[in-house]
Chains A and B, each alone.
Chain A
């Protein structure tokens, strides 16, 4: 291949192949490690169990980084097409909160979900993409909040669609970092405080997916009392 000849289509094709090929070895690694932890082979000592748990965490983290990266490139290249199907917004939000709650509670953080009556029983949009964005925003909150709480507030209107606010009580984002937080692999002055945090792609990926769904994701406010991200998706009720 001549220097400089790689185009977006080729790159996405290569990434797709890489994404496929890496899943077999990662699958084997994750499953075998889970069997070690489950005692399928032999019981582990405490020290071995601790090491196996570390492998478990990091093998899943590696998978998340690969998945996020491929999805990010595809989203940026508009190679992902959002599906429009009816879904239950309450159930989706609850699932996302449920996913991060154990890690939040481990840090002593309260997790609140407030869904107003304005949110219909069914909305029409790509539930999988929305779930990915919401989960990434929640993980971001868990990763960068040392104490206090995470709160998700959700409402809907005909005019503006589905809005969600993600409030945390972290130490805020510095004015130097704030303009860059939606850039891929940006690492600001703050470091995530949970080992499950990904590669610095969460916010960039979220922004790319939201753009794909013709929505908006903004950092509404930040300061010593915490940060608030605002997500708006112009999706109708079913």
Chain B
């Protein structure tokens, strides 16, 4: 089963992601703080991290930094889901070292499709 770590401090949104992703056979673990994400991510070794940037104790960038330094998370895809339109500018993909940036609210179909695309190896 594909493992997803949801890092989001809005409890209703966490429940919504969980309902959606479990209905599509993803195994979901959720945390609401950056420090909890850091504690969990190296044990869980998720396939995907769904990450809010504006967390109560820190910015989501600390989670990205850790994930990108840790070799066993080399396969992990990081999707930033943000309410800030400014983060969507493409150059941030490079500076943030994430795989995708989506703006809240994300359509269910869009999220599922993008996750599926990220998990499917590119055919050259």
Residues of A near any B CB (own CB < 8 A): 16, 19-28, 30-32, 34-35, 38, 40-41, 63
Contacts and interface: CB of A to CB of B under 8 A. Distances in A.
Interface of B: 8, 10, 12-13, 15-17, 19-20, 23, 54, 82-85, 103-108
Contact of A24 (B19, B23, B104, B108): B104
A28 B23 contact: no
Given A27-B16, A28-B12, A40-B23, A20 B54 contact: yes
A63 B83 CA distance: 12
B52 to A, nearest CB: 8
B105 A30 contact: yes
A28 B20 contact: no
The main secondary structure of chain A at its interface with chain B is helix
A21 B54 CA distance: 10
Given A20-B82, A24-B8, A28-B105, 16 more contacts: A16-B84, A19-B85, A24-B12, A24-B104, A25-B13, A26-B104, A26-B105, A27-B106, A28-B13, A31-B16, A31-B105, A31-B108, A34-B107, A35-B23, A40-B20, A41-B19
29 contacts: A19-B85, A20-B54, A20-B84, A22-B83, A23-B83, A23-B103, A23-B104, A24-B13, A24-B104, A25-B12, A25-B13, A27-B13, A27-B16, A27-B105, A28-B10, A28-B16, A28-B105, A30-B107, A31-B17, A31-B105, A31-B106, A32-B19, A34-B107, A35-B20, A35-B23, A38-B108, A40-B19, A41-B19, A63-B105
